[in-house]
Amino acid sequence: MFVRTESFREFIRFYPIITLIICIHFLLFLATSLPILPSREIFTLLAGVNLYIMEGEIWRIITPIFIHSGFAHVLFNSFSLVLFGPALERMLGKTKFLVVYLVTGIAANIATLFLESPTYTHVGSSGAIFGLFGFYLAIIMFRREMLSRENSQMILTIAIIGVIMTFMQANINITAHIFGLIAGFLIGRIIYSNR
């Protein structure tokens, strides 16, 4: 389930939303990194800055989901999406997967807006990725038969390690991680608890 055996071409065909998100990640990373472009201005325009959001720059609730602070950051988040996203894109379909990804990322950024200081700045797709973990946790709780015992144990282990690491590393948006996880769980509960 979480082992990728597809060719590059098959991956693109089977998981078009994940492919699109990762392309956006890397295109924006290049746009905010290359010295030939006004990279600093692009980064500043798209980063989540709570004060600017409060002043009406609402797009900053969405755009931080797609930009990252460095190559290691974009690589780690994109790799996490490649590992854990495909099973959900297949289960939910393209549209629902995209909605879950965006809604959990936006929920993480809204929580950051309300719980962090006005000067707080944040970027990265971690809130949305934790949202996927939260959705998996809802599947484990409400539709256990959809995942094998081994995959359920793997998800639980990775989610626990992810939460622990959130509190142990510097420069992590703890609020986004936790509220992305909660948002994913709640969406999963809404979708699966009544079936």
Catalytic annotation on 125?
Answer: no
| Active-site residue identified among 126, 148, 152, 193 | 126
Among residues 156, 169, 189, 190, which one has the least CA distance to residue 124?
A: 169
SS3 content of the chain, % helix, strand, coil (to 5): 75, 0, 25
Q: Which residues contact 86 (CB under 8 A, 6 or more apart)?
A: 4, 11, 14, 15, 18
User: From the candidates 80, 152, 177, 193, which is the catalytic residue?
Assistant: 177
Q: How far apart are alpha carbons 108 and 85 in whole angstroms? A: 18
Instruction: Look at residues 71, 59, 158, 143 and name the one whose alpha carbon lies nearest to residue 109.
Output: 59
What letters, b where the CB count within 10 A reaches 16 and e where it falls short, cover 176-192?
bbbbbbbbbbbbbbebe
- 68 annotated active-site: no
User: Which residues are catalytically annotated?
Assistant: 126, 177
